[in-house]
């Protein structure tokens, strides 16, 4: 295991892997076969420069961040993970929100947002809420603490390799920050008609959501994998500055190591054991998932997402119906949030991905590659925010139920809409951004930027 206190760019032999001056190397220069990386977004094979804490290495062609270095990464991640776990424990231990209408009210804890949905015959939506808000973040934080404790004691704890592999898969599905927005929307919805009190858990949850974001950003997976498993040399003959797929190579999306792809196109990473990503030029899986999400988007909008019963009067509300209700009540900002999260984001995401798949297949260039990759990044980033409406339903159903003057139940649209969010997220994950760069010329040269980020070396060179 590498000494976590040492600069990470030192190889186990103590040699600097690739110096900053290497970015000015002439094409054709032999480079070390250590510390080669494949850009996951444009498929360019690159040699990492030396990166100091506080610096990052961006791909010189597409701008994708390959490595972000932190000071004392193990101590930093461990401290953040423990603090986040404490706030999570506080978030589930105390009352979350309470409300009161003319002496009749209810007080809920965080876990009831999921458990009430089970009682209302929506176990899948409940599972989704429970996983994204509590369970997956808890698994992530415990796994990270386990890894950091092992690295700090200089002896990785048992099963560290398997645990490190789970981090990348869990990260996109943690949605505590989206849940905070969902809670705020729910509160604004009921504040006009009831007296609302925020419990200790609500405030701890807000801190938990913020700390969870900071924790995920603190993880330097390049350093983590080097410390856990060191780093084998890249395959012989790897040519930096050219597309990896053209050389039969693939960069591992989990640990970053460059591997040779077997003839079958399917293989596993030599260092972490994760399946390697073969080039998905047609993006057929993305298209299939998009088709499924388009089909599910119809019931998501046609069926009510929640049903409100007030003094014997039952009012089912679809997503659009909910938006119109907020507008009628003069709550324009909330109407806007729900409209953006539940209508604009999923629809524009589906259209953007369909368009990207189409232009990639047709080899058309209506936009520059830089603009297309930016569009892809936006679709990937915004997808999870559509869960706001699902969380609003979960919170309102838990809070306003049985025996109150008013009660709210989830509608059939809730499950359909949750499925749309999950399917569109999977579609964006399965889209292969490398297909955007198919046939692109290698970049001319890279310069070090003065903003603390460094471009890896990608001059044409043969190893």
- Write out the residues near Zn ion by the rule CB under 5 A: 39, 41-42, 59, 61-62, 64, 252, 254-255, 257, 269, 271-272
Kindly state the smallest distance separating residue 373's Cβ from Zn ion, in Å. 8
Kindly state the smallest distance separating residue 55's Cβ from Zn ion, in Å. 18
Give the 3-state secondary structure of 84-150: HHHHHHHHHHCEEEEEEECCEEEEEECCHHHHHHHHCCCHHHHHHHHHHHHHHHHHHHHHHHHHHHH
**SS3 state at 353:** helix
Kindly state the smallest distance separating residue 425's Cβ from Zn ion, in Å. 22
Kindly state the smallest distance separating residue 256's Cβ from Zn ion, in Å. 7
Contacts of 238 (CB under 8 A, 6+ apart): 33, 36, 45, 244, 247, 249, 258, 463
Which residue number, 41 or 112, has a Cβ lying nearer to Zn ion?
A: 41
End-to-end CA distance of the chain: 26
Kindly state the smallest distance separating residue 230's Cβ from Zn ion, in Å. 12
Which residue number, 25 or 37, has a Cβ lying nearer to Zn ion?
A: 37
Task: In whole angstroms, give the CA distance from residue 201 to residue 15.
Answer: 50
The DSSP 8-state label assigned to residue 23 in this structure reads G
Which residue number, 12 or 333, has a Cβ lying nearer to Zn ion?
A: 12
Which residue number, 269 or 399, has a Cβ lying nearer to Zn ion?
A: 269
Kindly state the smallest distance separating residue 280's Cβ from Zn ion, in Å. 17
Kindly state the smallest distance separating residue 44's Cβ from Zn ion, in Å. 5
Which residue number, 269 or 436, has a Cβ lying nearer to Zn ion?
A: 269
Report the phi/psi class of residue 102: left, alpha or beta, with left for phi > 0 and alpha for psi in -120 to 50: left
**For residue 455, what are its two tokens?**
């471009």
421 near 350, Cβ under 8 Å? no
Length of the chain: 463
Identify the residue whose tokens are 């040269």: 445
Kindly state the smallest distance separating residue 391's Cβ from Zn ion, in Å. 34
Which residue number, 43 or 409, has a Cβ lying nearer to Zn ion?
A: 43
Which residue number, 62 or 287, has a Cβ lying nearer to Zn ion?
A: 62
Which residue number, 46 or 430, has a Cβ lying nearer to Zn ion?
A: 46
Which residue number, 98 or 221, has a Cβ lying nearer to Zn ion?
A: 221
Kindly state the smallest distance separating residue 185's Cβ from Zn ion, in Å. 37
Report the phi/psi class of residue 97: left, alpha or beta, with left for phi > 0 and alpha for psi in -120 to 50: beta
Give residue 442's Cα distance to chain centre: 29
Task: In whole angstroms, give the CA distance from residue 229 to residue 232.
Answer: 9
Report the phi/psi class of residue 363: left, alpha or beta, with left for phi > 0 and alpha for psi in -120 to 50: left
Parallel, antiparallel or unpaired: strands 313-317 and 406-410 = unpaired
Query: Residue 460 belongs to what H/E stretch?
Result: none
């Amino acid at each position: 295991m590498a000494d976590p206190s040492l600069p990470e760019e030192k190889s186990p032999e103590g040699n600097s892997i690739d110096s900053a001056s290497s970015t000015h190397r002439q094409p054709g220069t032999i480079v070390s076969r250590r510390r080669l990386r494949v850009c996951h977004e444009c498929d360019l094979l690159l040699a990492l420069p030396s990166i100091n804490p506080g610096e990052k290495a961006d791909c010189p062609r597409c701008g994708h961040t390959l490595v972000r270095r932190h000071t004392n990464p193990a101590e930093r991640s461990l401290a953040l993970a423990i603090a986040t776990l404490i706030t999570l424990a506080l978030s589930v231990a105390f009352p979350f929100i309470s409300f009161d209408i003319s002496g009749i009210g209810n007080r809920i804890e965080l876990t009831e947002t999921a458990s009430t949905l089970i009682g209302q015959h929506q176990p899948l939506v409940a599972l989704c809420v429970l996983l994204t808000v509590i369970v997956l973040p808890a698994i992530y934080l415990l796994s990270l603490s386990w890894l950091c404790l092992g690295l700090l004691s200089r002896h990785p704890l048992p099963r560290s390799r398997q645990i490190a592999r789970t981090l990348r898969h869990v990260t996109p599905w943690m949605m505590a920050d989206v849940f905070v927005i969902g809670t705020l929307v729910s509160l604004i919805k009921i504040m006009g008609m009831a007296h609302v009190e925020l419990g200790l858990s609500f405030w701890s949850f807000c801190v938990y959501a913020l700390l969870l974001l900071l924790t995920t950003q603190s993880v330097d997976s390049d350093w983590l994998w080097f410390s856990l498993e060191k780093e084998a040399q890249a395959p012989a003959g790897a040519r930096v500055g050219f597309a990896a797929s053209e050389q039969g190579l693939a960069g591992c999306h989990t640990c970053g190591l460059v591997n040779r792809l077997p003839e079958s196109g399917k293989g596993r990473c030599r260092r972490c054991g994760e399946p390697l990503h073969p080039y998905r030029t047609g993006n057929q899986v993305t298209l299939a998932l998009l088709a499924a999400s388009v089909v599910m988007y119809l019931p998501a909008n046609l069926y009510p997402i929640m049903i409100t019963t007030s003094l014997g009067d039952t009012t089912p509300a679809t997503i659009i119906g909910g938006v119109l209700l907020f507008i009628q009540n003069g709550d324009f900002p909330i109407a806007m949030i729900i409209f953006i999260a539940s209508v604009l984001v999923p629809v524009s995401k589906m259209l953007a991905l369909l368009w990207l798949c189409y232009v990639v297949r047709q080899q058309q260039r209506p936009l520059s590659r830089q603009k297309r990759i930016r569009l892809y990044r936006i679709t990937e980033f915004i997808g999870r925010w559509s869960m706001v409406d699902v969380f609003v339903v979960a919170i309102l159903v838990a809070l306003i139920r049985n025996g109150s003057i008013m009660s709210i139940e989830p509608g059939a649209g809730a499950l359909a809409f949750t499925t749309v969010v999950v399917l569109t997220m999977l579609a964006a994950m399965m889209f292969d951004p490398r297909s955007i760069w198919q046939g692109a010329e290698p970049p001319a040269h890279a310069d070090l930027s003065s903003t603390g980020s460094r471009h890896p070396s990608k001059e044409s060179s043969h190893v």
